[in-house]
Structure 1
Amino acid sequence: MPNAPEPNPAVTPASARPVSRGFMLISLTAVVLVGFNLRAGITSASALFHDLQLYLGYGPFVAALLPSIPTLVFAAAGAATAWLARRLGLTGTLLLALCVLTAGLGFRALPTTWALLAGTVVAMCGIALCNVAMPSFIRQHFAHKTSMMTGVYTITMSIGATAASALSVPLALASGSPTIGLATWSLLAFAAVLAFIPFVFMTRVEKGTAPKPAGTSPLSLLRTKRGLVITGLFSVQALMAYSLMSWLPSVLIFRSMSPAQAGVILGVLQLTSIPATIFALWLVNKHNMLRGAIIMCSVGVALGIAGLLVLPLSLAWLCAVSMGVGFAVFPLVLLVISHSGDTAEEATAMSTLAQSVGYLLATSGPFGMGLLFAATGSWTLPLILLICIAGVQLVLGVVAASYRKTIPERVQ
């Protein structure tokens, strides 16, 4: 199977043109605010799954379905991102996505199971569009600082996830309702909408002078080894991440930890991923150790999951720290995607393929864990299977690291 074509150094991204300091500041603000929102809408619900089931009274099928909605929607809605980006542009697509996210999160305030499910589907549609578009957005507007901005983006994702994990239960208690506590995170999404509006108008000034790029079919990348490996790597890391974000609090509550404490432990995981991400990107940028960084992440998440099986509950924070190191693999995968083509459009195609297929496969993680727990009455088998997935991630990551030499520019 042939490899993807070698990148053409002569291709100059639009972002290489001189831009004003104000434009760059607004771009940076947009990246940060989008990052804050992309996991907060997920981890805020994870910390409240136990309380939501008691409050709304839904059964085990809905309990297993609810944490599976993000990856299912990411697979379906993410596939439309390349089509939308060609018609609305990256910035228009991102603004639409943030509006959809805000509406979906707000709708979850209604105290019914159908509103919880429908609001989650709508909100995840917004996140799906952002997930696919952001690597290309960073490639387009920060072409010579891709690694740094990927780090900023993923770190703000972790900060948002940490805050949502730790604060969702207190917010629910303060509001007297887990659904209202869940819906308060729509305010953060609305702030991103407000910040993105001036950015959209500023980008329209340059839109008329830029040549219209040729589209790239995501399906054509399935004929390349690179496309298959990157898609496989994205799939397993997403399965791992969303399984843990969805069910870690439930695993700890099953072992007699309080819901508030379990939410804090999930927050510790997300918080640890911040310095881990900085260190992983430093290894890549300064020492060209992409392979070593991926191995570190894969081993870290496997050890953390194993700790949940054998260590006492008092050391759950140590397991969370180790798994947080594992979560640093996400920006490494994004970095590979953002350099997977000669242009931002080709990177969008790769991102569309990897995320639409990857999230569809990753749905088996949270949904399967919920069903296995319901069937066995224990989290042991689901956690053992996650350790095996970490081994698959390590192998695919080592293969993907060999593509580092074809990246068209050295990241800054």
Structure 2
Amino acid sequence: MASPAMTHHSKKSLIIGILLVATTLRAPFTGLAPLLATLGHHLGLGTMQVGLLTTLPLLAFALLSPMVPYLTRYLGLERSVAVALVAICLGVMLRALGTVTFLYLGTVIIGAGIAVGNVILPSLLKRDFVSILPKMTGAYSLTMGISAALASVLVVPLATHLGWAQASLSLLIFPLIALIVWAQQLKGRAVTGLSRPAMSSNAQIWRSSLAWQITLFLGLNSLIYYVLVSWLPVLLVDSGFSATKAGSLHGLLQLATALPGLIIGAVIARYRDQRWLAMAMASLWVVSLVGLWGMPGWAILWVGLGGIGSGAAMILGLSLIGLRSRSAHQAVALSGMAQAVGYLLAAAGPAAMGKLHEQSGSWHLPLLFCLLLAIAMMAMGLLAGKNRLMDE
């Protein structure tokens, strides 16, 4: 159930708003990945310069996430979400202007907006949907994955007919619709942010071993995921796939991350201890990476398994933020920490794996490194999944 003070209409409106906001937290960023080679050629960018288009948003996620609790303190949760949506809209428009300067500037602004949304949504669910938190987390993760898959599949044909800039601009539809609908949440709302005493959670959370276990479980999952989001099309083309087929499989990765949202929330809710779930999710990454290494011709299977494991792990990790925290204030602090560390790891991943591929001349070493990270993720899941609450 949602907060008792909410009417049926306001609860329904909030759910729709949250799901539409979720469509903006991945698609405007990952939807550009299938166009990186095209825009790089068009603008004369080198490999490292193109790689920055993946790294910059992740760095924005990492650097800004710890600051979001302070933003919500002054603006409140609803107004902070509105600011995030405006930033994403602005960034998408700037990125599509077709120059290198605006390409990078727009990318950073998109990253800043997504960072705010990423941190706030788990705390909104903790505040208003605490009794159905895993199910709501699954629902918004499903929406996020479907929108990202749709973006990845459609941008290539759009770019073929309209050019990369116009195809990139088409991603504006996600934050624009979300902003229009979310405006309903601002009417008659008082600013309800974090109080000064609650802000102490933001500092204390960094000393919690449980917080670090949840953070690393999410962070390692994000690192592996964004390595594949960045390099899967290139890896597949190097393995003999056409660019169109590689783009479709990239879309499959996005779609597969959404599928667990159909059931995993209900599964998580049935158990107080989630250790075996966390281990199973990380093990799907292990199978996927071994498959891509040894039998890339079966990529449709390996990509699907990896996407399912990653999506399920993300839902579990985000659910753990609410399940292991004692209040919405603590959830905001933990979410900020998890997003910051997780995306700092993810930001380093694509560039590091690209450099490793460049030096070794194959994808074997990058995949092996990701495999070791997946095993470490299993260990973090075993620790974070144990049923307990964080200290105040």
What's the TM-score, normalizing by structure 1? 0.89
Q: In 1, are the aligned partners of 2:88 and 2:110 still within 8 Å (CA)?
A: yes
In the TM superposition, what whole-angstrom CA distance separates every residue of 1:86-127 from its partner, at most 9, and x where no partner exists?
000011110000000011011111222222211111101000
Q: Aligned to 1:122, which of 98, 109, 115?
A: 109
Per-residue deviation at 1:202? 4.4
Q: Aligned to 2:336, which of 352, 355, 361?
A: 352
Per-residue deviation at 1:289? 5.7
Q: Aligned to 2:217, which of 228, 233, 236?
A: 233
Q: Which amino acid aligns with 1:162?
A: A
* Structure 1 counterpart of 2:88: 101
Q: Aligned to 1:365, which of 312, 333, 349?
A: 349
Q: In 2, are the aligned partners of 1:109 and 1:182 still within 8 Å (CA)?
A: yes
Mapping 1:386-405, distance limit 5 Å: 386-402=370-386, 404-405=387-388
- Number of residues paired by the alignment? 390
* Structure 2 counterpart of 1:144: 131
How far apart in 2 are the matches of 1:94 and 1:199? 10
Mapping 1:39-78, distance limit 5 Å: 39-78=26-65
Cα distance 1:46–1:160, how it changes in 2: closer, same or farther (>3 A)?
same
Moved more, 261-270 or 99-108: 261-270
| 1:320 lines up with 2:303 in the alignment | yes
In the TM superposition, what whole-angstrom CA distance separates every residue of 1:363-398 from its partner, at most 9, and x where no partner exists?
221121122223233222111111111001000000
In the TM superposition, what whole-angstrom CA distance separates every residue of 1:46-93 from its partner, at most 9, and x where no partner exists?
111121212211012212222112221101121220010000001111
* Structure 2 counterpart of 1:198: 184
What's the TM-score, normalizing by structure 2? 0.94
Per-residue deviation at 1:287? 4.3
Which runs of 5 or more residues in structure 1 are unaligned?
A: 1-12
Mapping 1:245-264, distance limit 5 Å: 245-264=229-248
TM-align CA RMSD: 2.2
* Structure 2 counterpart of 1:135: 122
Moved more, 219-228 or 380-389: 219-228
Cα distance 1:400–1:169, how it changes in 2: closer, same or farther (>3 A)?
same
Moved more, 25-34 or 230-239: 230-239
Cα distance 1:94–1:212, how it changes in 2: closer, same or farther (>3 A)?
same
How far apart in 1 are the matches of 2:308 and 2:272? 19
How far apart in 2 are the matches of 1:203 and 1:213? 22
How far apart in 2 are the matches of 1:67 and 1:216? 33
Q: In 2, are the aligned partners of 1:38 and 1:127 still within 8 Å (CA)?
A: yes
Per-residue deviation at 1:213? 6.7
How far apart in 2 are the matches of 1:231 and 1:312? 31
How far apart in 1 are the matches of 2:189 and 2:303? 41
Moved more, 150-159 or 217-226: 217-226
How far apart in 1 are the matches of 2:54 and 2:130? 35
Q: In 2, are the aligned partners of 1:27 and 1:141 still within 8 Å (CA)?
A: no
Per-residue deviation at 1:255? 2.1
